[in-house]
Amino acid sequence: MSNQSREGTVGFVGLGAMGSPMVANLLKAGHELVVYDIDKAKVERAVKLGAHAGTSAADVARRASKLISMVDTTVQAQDVIVGPGGFIDAVQPGDLVISMSTIDPLALRRMHDALAAKGVDMIDAPVSGLDQGARDGTLKAFVGGDAAALERARPILKDMTAQITHIGGIGQGAAMKLINNLIFQVARVTIAEALVLGTKAGIDPKQLFAVISQATGNSVAFQTAGSRMLARNFAGSRLDSTFKDMELQIQLGKSLQVPMFMTTIAQQVCELGRGAGLGSEDGAAIVKVYEQFARITLGADPQGE
């Protein structure tokens, strides 16, 4: 591959529930893409849409100058970006790495420094909006890193997102995403608790939802999670990912000497759910934990225990 064609190519590693539709949107916008995932079937689906298949993260970096990592965990991101066989093995001075995962802000700083030693820019740009936002291209990106590096990334980010906000230095995009997730994820546990309590008290759950939707208890979290709980729609962002996010939130709090009472309690409720086999279901499935303890199911007769 010539340097000219490499300069015009975007590399993308991580074709999960978020990454695959993000790749589809980049292809629709006309970007030249080379992609990699450990799941070959996901790579094949992207190739059918017009992407080129990479054989490893390092191979992607050999063939593209702007590189995106969209994996689940901090460890996976470190492997992709600075691990053996990762981007760092094949990057060239002047390349740009964009980490779009929700991971440890301190780890992002270490990866940034390792890449900077090779003359490579890095920003973190985790996104909010769940898999639906990834499909619709309505994600919101929270960016940490140098302003000039963000401007280099903007032509790519704008084709996957509807809003790009520069938060500050490297890692602060991830910190913002973790804080946003904290509010949503802790609220989701509270919503499950409230809906089960109301149903157990004899209130029709549909009426409960309708009334709260017009009252002070309403929120985006209530509309999103509450509607899923009532519809028994548990396909989506995994409870395992919620638990991972909460672990990062608590670690960040500890590093800054901030007490994390509510997040710690909510994480333990999520641990109950994971222990009950709900880890691969959407986080709204946490309602099943409350239903089990209350011996009730939303929508069922509260006296039919």
Residue-wise pLDDT for 47-95, tens only, equals: 999 999 999 999 999 999 999 999 999 999 999 999 999 999 999 999 9
| Confidence check: pLDDT of 267 > 90 | yes
pLDDT at 262 over 80: yes
Determine which one of 40, 42, 158, 177 is catalytic: 177
Query: What is the widest separation between alpha-carbon atoms in the chain?
Result: 71
Mean pLDDT in residue range 156-176: 97
The pLDDT, as a whole number, for residue 148 is: 97
pLDDT tens digits, one per residue of 196-226 = 999 999 999 999 999 999 999 999 999 999 9
Catalytic: 177? yes
The whole-angstrom separation of Cα 39 and Cα 160 is: 22
Question: Mean of the per-residue pLDDT values for the chain?
Answer: 94
Give residue 225's identity as a one-letter amino acid code.
A
**Is residue 299 over pLDDT 80?**
no
Residues facing 98 on adjacent strands: 68, 123
pTM of the model: 0.89
Mean pLDDT of 180-189: 97
Q: Tell me the CB-side half-sphere exposure of residue 271, using CA atoms within 13 A.
A: 8
pLDDT at residue 236 is higher than 70: yes
Share of the chain above pLDDT 90, in %: 91
Report residue 300's pLDDT band, with 50, 70 and 90 as the boundaries: low
Q: What is the pLDDT of residue 4?
A: 52
Domain locations along the chain: 3-169, 175-294
Q: What is the pLDDT of residues 4-43, one digit of tens each?
A: 589 999 999 999 989 999 999 999 999 999 999 999 999 9
Residue 91, sorted as left (phi over 0), alpha (psi -120 to 50) or beta, turns out to be: beta
User: Tell me: the pLDDT tens digits for 92-143?
Assistant: 999 999 999 999 999 999 999 999 999 999 999 999 988 888 899 999 999 9
Residue of 160, 164, 161 whose CA lies nearest to 28: 160
For residue 301, what pLDDT is reported? 45
Phi, psi at residue 141, to the nearest 5°?
-100, 130
The dihedral over CA atoms of 149, 155, 158, 159, expressed in degrees to the nearest 10, equals -140
CATH of 175-294, one of 3.50.50.60, 1.10.1040.10, 3.40.30.10, 3.40.50.11740: 1.10.1040.10
Backbone angles phi and psi of 238, in degrees to 5: -70, 145
Q: Which CATH architecture fits 3-169? A: 3-Layer(aba) Sandwich (3.40)
Two structure tokens written together for 75: 């460890």
Please spell the DSSP secondary structure of 212-239, one letter per residue. HHTSTT--HHIIIIIHHHHHT---SSBH
Structure tokens at 69: 């990592």
- For residue 132, the model assigns a pLDDT of 84
pLDDT computed for residue 237 by the predictor: 83
Query: Are 221 and 191 within 8 A, CB to CB?
Result: yes
Residue 302 has pLDDT above 60, yes or no: no
pLDDT band at 305 (very low <50, low <70, confident <90, very high): very low
List, in order, residues 6 or more apart from 20 with CB less than 8 Å away. Answer: 42, 45, 46, 134
